[in-house]
């Protein structure tokens, strides 16, 4: 059996001692990432009964699970991921690659012409460890998510997306500011300190870009 690298051993040790991992297990949540979303949503009161929410890059389902619980029996939660995701009561799951037109078309069909109130994107590419490869991949997914929000998020709706600080980050945020009345960059407490990830919260989608 292959031995784990020191970095992988360190990650496992940190993961199992992580208070958010322990809390997620105790509360029956699929992922510690749910606490990132909880902090972001509650701070700005992003959820309202009856909302239509689309969760891009949803697996293993931590965000969709939390949103479904928070909305109760109202609204719709539509989740999409290239990875399989065990079913969640009250969550509509589409399995496929968001980069493919056929998968996007299926998502549009599922919406059945209804505008989306909140688009969530926790998408990230499989990491190679090489920034020159990983950043463009992550940025491409972020651009696809922004394009989806351009076409399907209602006017005055909200877009929350994970971004990685690096090449292209400032330009992306600048594009968000053209599209939304208010854009804030947040680093939730549950986000690991050494991670370059941050979350862009874009509120008040404009009827027309600036």
Please enumerate, by residue number, every residue annotated as part of a binding site for S-adenosyl-L-methionine: 61, 63, 81, 97, 122
Neighbours of 52 (CB within 10 A): 19
CA distances from 20 to 24, 28, 189 (A): 6, 12, 10
Annotated binding site: 61, 63, 81, 97, 122
Give helix 62-71 / helix 33-44 axis angle, nearest 10°. 40
Per-residue tokens: 181: 């009345």
* Catalytic option among 6, 48, 114, 162: 162
Q: Is 162 a catalytic residue?
A: yes
Q: Is the preceding omega at residue 69 within 30 degrees of 0, hence cis?
A: no
Q: Are 161 and 184 in contact (CB under 8 A)?
A: no
Q: Just list the catalytic residues.
A: 162
């Amino acid at each position: 059996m292959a031995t784990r690298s020191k970095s992988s051993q360190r990650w496992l040790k940190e993961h199992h001692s992580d208070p958010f991992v322990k809390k997620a297990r105790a509360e029956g949540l699929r992922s510690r990432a749910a606490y990132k979303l909880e902090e972001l949503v509650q701070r700005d009161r992003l959820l309202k009964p009856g909302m239509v929410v689309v969760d891009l890059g949803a697996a293993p389902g931590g965000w969709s699970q939390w949103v479904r619980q928070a909305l109760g029996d109202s609204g719709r939660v539509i989740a999409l991921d290239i990875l399989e995701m065990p079913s969640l009561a009250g969550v509509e799951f589409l399995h496929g690659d968001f980069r493919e037109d056929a998968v996007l078309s299926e998502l549009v069909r599922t919406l059945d012409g209804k505008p989306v109130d909140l688009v969530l994107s926790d998408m990230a590419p499989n990491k190679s460890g090489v920034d020159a490869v990983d950043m463009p991949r992550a940025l491409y997914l972020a651009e696809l998510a922004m394009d989806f929000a351009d076409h399907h998020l209602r006017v005055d709706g909200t877009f929350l997306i994970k971004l990685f600080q690096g090449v292209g980050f400032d330009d992306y945020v600048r594009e968000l500011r053209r599209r939304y009345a208010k854009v804030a960059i947040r680093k939730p407490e549950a986000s690991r300190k050494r991670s370059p990830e941050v979350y862009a919260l874009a509120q008040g989608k404009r009827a027309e870009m600036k």
